[in-house]
């Protein structure tokens, strides 16, 4: 039986707002502890890699496992999805692995980590039941869901089973539950198709806007501003982002500028840097910094994308820079912790075991 003392302990540890060390310069809204074969960095080593430079981090695995098909690659064991034609499949155990890794930390270090639920299939109407089950199995642990993927270059077509879609009611169920429980949502969706023709209607951007409008109560972070390895900024990228952020119906939508593949487009030229800096300065409460590193081995590689953004940071106002680097993360995830713990208090009943 879960005792009252146990419940009080996890609530005290999980609800109290963490204090970011004064020496930190950035919080990371987007970090994968494990890779596509579920191997990665020991969480205790991660704390050392974060050091005093990174205050807090939203931490998750990768929800997809790359199959090792002997018929396809023989004795070569692929570790990345581009190394084989074999399919990817959803790997739900990632959530339990992240929860147990988090629980292995002392309380002071837990305060710097916001674990995320990601081991679900967004095309499955039962996905929301998985998310609810993870919360009730590991109370006091999770702050959000994601990063999960709907449309992603090269990845979506490799996933076994039904193709995820922005118009699938299964996704609406997930976002409805996120709004109910307070979970932050980190979602990857390309802004356009790879190798799009000039002038081609970006149907993904239209569907994404409509999805956001259907879920005004969910706290959503759109990963990488829709950019990818070959999905480069559209001619009207900044205009599309501006319309999104200026929409009074969508104050709940935020953007993370994570991933080196996305950063390369943002810092590609003085003009691209100036355009993005102006957008962040105009909407300083809507952008979060993230690395999107996968199983980092050392701080230099972990923060390479932060160093890449030096030209961008130099053009932000001091207040916008502080919000982008740290404060927006703290605001969103502090509120998520408060709301999710409140949901757990109501919905997790003491039961005999």
Closest CA to 88 of 171, 141, 155: 155
CA atoms 118, 120, 125, 128: torsion sign: negative
For residue 13, the model assigns a pLDDT of: 47
* Average pLDDT over every residue of 323-352: 91
DSSP 284-332: TTSEEE---EES--SHHHHTHHHHHTHHHHTTS-HHHHHIIIIIHHHHH
Torsion, Cα 263 324 256 338, to 10 degrees, reads 160
**CATH number for the domain formed by residue range(s) 24-347:** 3.20.20.140
Q: Give tens-digit pLDDT for 157-208.
A: 889 888 999 999 999 999 999 999 999 999 999 887 776 666 666 778 889 9
- 124 versus 152: the higher-pLDDT residue is 124
Question: Using alpha carbons only, what angle is made at residue 284 by residues 227 and 209, rounded to the nearest 5 degrees?
Answer: 45
Q: Give tens-digit pLDDT for 58-117.
A: 999 999 999 999 999 999 999 989 899 999 999 999 999 999 999 999 999 999 999 999
Q: Give tens-digit pLDDT for 241-264.
A: 999 999 999 999 999 999 999 999
* Average pLDDT over every residue of 323-328: 98
For residue 257, the model assigns a pLDDT of: 97
Return d(Cα 157, Cα 81) in angstroms, integer.
Answer: 11
Q: Residue 114 belongs to what H/E stretch?
A: strand 113-117
Token pair 């409805």 in the structure block, residue: 176
Residue ranges per structural domain of the chain? 24-347
Task: Give the pLDDT band of residue 351 (cuts 50, 70, 90).
Answer: very low
Return d(Cα 115, Cα 345) in angstroms, integer.
Answer: 18
Backbone angles phi, psi at 203, to 5 degrees: -60, -30
Q: Give tens-digit pLDDT for 119-130.
A: 999 999 999 999
């Amino acid at each position: 039986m879960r005792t009252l003392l146990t419940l009080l302990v996890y609530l005290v540890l999980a609800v109290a707002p963490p204090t970011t060390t004064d020496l930190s310069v950035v919080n990371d809204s987007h970090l994968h502890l494990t890779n596509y074969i579920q191997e990665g960095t020991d969480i205790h080593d991660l704390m050392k890699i974060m050091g005093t430079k990174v205050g807090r981090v939203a931490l998750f695995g990768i929800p997809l496992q790359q199959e090792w098909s002997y018929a396809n690659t023989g004795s070569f064991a692929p570790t990345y999805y581009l190394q084989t034609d074999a399919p990817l499949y959803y790997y739900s155990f990632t959530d339990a692995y992240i929860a147990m890794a988090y629980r292995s930390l002392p309380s002071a270090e837990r305060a710097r980590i916001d674990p995320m639920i990601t081991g679900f299939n967004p095309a499955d109407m039962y996905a929301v039941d998985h998310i609810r089950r993870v919360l009730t199995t590991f109370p006091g642990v999770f702050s959000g869901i994601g990063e999960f993927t709907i449309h992603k270059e090269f990845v979506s077509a490799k996933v076994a089973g039904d193709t995820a879609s922005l118009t699938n009611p299964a996704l609406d169920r997930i976002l409805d539950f996120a709004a109910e429980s307070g979970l932050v949502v980190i979602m990857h969706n390309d802004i356009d198709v790879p190798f799009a023709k000039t002038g081609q209607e970006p149907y993904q951007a239209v569907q994404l806007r409509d999805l956001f409008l259907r879920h005004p109560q969910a706290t959503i972070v759109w990963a990488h501003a829709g950019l990818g390895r070959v999905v480069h900024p559209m001619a009207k990228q900044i205009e599309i982002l501006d319309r999104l952020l200026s929409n009074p119906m969508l104050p709940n939508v935020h953007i993370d500028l994570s991933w080196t593949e996305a950063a390369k487009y943002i810092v590609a030229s003085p003009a691209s840097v100036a355009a993005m800096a102006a957008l962040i300065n105009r909407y300083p409460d809507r952008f979060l910094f993230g690395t999107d590193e996968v199983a980092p081995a050392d701080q230099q590689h972990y923060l390479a994308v932060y160093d890449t953004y030096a030209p961008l940071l130099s053009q932000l106002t001091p207040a916008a820079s502080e919000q982008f680097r740290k404060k927006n993360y703290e605001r969103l995830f502090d509120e998520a912790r408060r709301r999710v713990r409140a949901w757990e208090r109501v919905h997790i009943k003491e039961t005999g075991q």
